[in-house]
A and B are shown apart, each in its own frame.
Chain A
Amino acid sequence: MGLIFIRSIIIFIATLCVMRLMGKRQIGEMQPYELVITLIIADLACIPLADHSIPLLYGLVAILSVYLLHQIICLLDLQFPIAKAVVSGAPSIVVNKNGIDDAELKKNNLDVSDLIESLRTEGIFALDAVEYALYEASGSFSALPKKDYETLQTSLPIVIIDEGKFDEKNVELTDRDLGYYREILKKQGYQLKKTLVMTVDGNGKLYMQQKGEKYRVLDLAWKVPLW
């Protein structure tokens, strides 16, 4: 029983570390340790059920060990904020007043397209319409739109450059060629490789941001709205 207890603790800690290293991408609405408990308990309960040669006590002691760890983590969570940050992680602010925080995204194994997808689920389509956005420790997404955000998103923006690469299909949709956007980059003193994101909406409003810099919004003054 003692061995099962120690083994359960080792498996629990190892699984929790892996979950924490995977970042918020792998977590749903649960805290990392809650997800680990759910994963482990499901399996532990099955082992003595499926294999009659294993004493039932083995499963029960392993489940008790996981329960014990859960209670200890709950206690640490309540008493020590540092322990909470280590075990559950902290919220990650991925959009701030300067635009997208690339380093925070990378830290959580996320990219710009994941962020845009999360923003869309919150009803925000234009990157310049966001004041702040963050991934909670549980992996859920929260965004604070700007006061006048509805006026900022009059047309659906599409991604032209994502992490230094052109999305050629979307470039075609704008009835312009790559040279047109390269010229914009050149005028703004941007390098394609360092460009984190460039989006353009149907009215010609362009959002661009270079890694580690504040975002810029340009009006391309298209005569006819494209969509």
Chain B
Amino acid sequence: MIKTIASIFITLGIIFGLAFYENNRVNDTFREFENVLTILYDKTESGDVTYEDGLATEEFWENKKNTLHIWLPHTAILEIDYQLYEAVGYLYVRDYKSALPKIEILLGMCENIPQSYRFSIENVL
């Protein structure tokens, strides 16, 4: 019986530990990425943005996404990749009007993806 109780607590510890770490990790990563994207958005809106700014944002995301693969479905990460590469592509040709909606989509994803991992009835169901 002691063995069973111990196994229950160990399993609960692992699950809650993973859940807590996942929650923090995903939230922190997307919060940081959102900050970087907001700066890029502001610069693009004012016309001060350079292609190098876009590449720096891309590099930031590349570094972060490797660990996110453990926690998020790979399709969600691919969707961000797709939108980001398009936005940076528009920055390269200096088409800022087209880049802005793409960055807005990315900002929306930064808000929505962590929300889909929060404890809420709609997420459970």
CA of A57 to CA of B69 in the docked complex: distance in angstroms? 10
Residue of A nearest to B72 (CB): A55
CA of A57 to CA of B22 in the docked complex: distance in angstroms? 11
24 examples of A-B residue contacts, CB within 8 angstroms: A1-B22, A1-B71, A2-B16, A2-B19, A2-B22, A2-B23, A6-B119, A53-B73, A55-B69, A57-B18, A57-B71, A61-B15, A64-B11, A64-B14, A68-B8, A68-B11, A68-B15, A71-B4, A71-B7, A71-B8, A75-B1, A75-B4, A75-B5, A75-B8
Interface residues on A, range: 20 to 34
| Contact assessment for B4 and A55 in the assembled complex, using a CB-CB cutoff below 8 Å | no
Is A85 an interface residue when CB atoms closer than 8 A count as contact?
A: no
CB 8 Å contact bits of A4-16 with B (1 = contact, 0 = none): 0111001000000
Q: B72: shortest Cβ distance to chain A, in Å?
A: 7
A interface residues (Cβ-Cβ under 8 A, vs B): 1-3, 5-7, 10, 52-55, 57, 61, 64-65, 67-68, 71-72, 74-75, 78
B interface residues (Cβ-Cβ under 8 A, vs A): 1, 4-5, 7-8, 11-12, 14-16, 18-19, 22-23, 69-75, 117, 119, 123-124
Q: B88: shortest Cβ distance to chain A, in Å?
A: 24
Residue numbers in B under 8 Å from A75 (CB-CB): 1, 4-5, 8
CA of A2 to CA of B18 in the docked complex: distance in angstroms? 8
Residue numbers in B under 8 Å from A10 (CB-CB): 124
CA of A65 to CA of B117 in the docked complex: distance in angstroms? 17
Residue numbers in B under 8 Å from A68 (CB-CB): 8, 11-12, 15
CA of A64 to CA of B69 in the docked complex: distance in angstroms? 20
Q: B118: shortest Cβ distance to chain A, in Å?
A: 8
| Contact assessment for A71 and B73 in the assembled complex, using a CB-CB cutoff below 8 Å | no
| Contact assessment for A3 and B69 in the assembled complex, using a CB-CB cutoff below 8 Å | no
Query: What are the 8 closest A-B residue pairs judged by CB atoms, nearest first?
Result: A2-B19, A1-B19, A53-B74, A68-B11, A1-B18, A53-B75, A1-B22, A71-B8
Residue of B nearest to A65 (CB): B15
| Contact assessment for A6 and B124 in the assembled complex, using a CB-CB cutoff below 8 Å | yes
CA of A65 to CA of B12 in the docked complex: distance in angstroms? 8
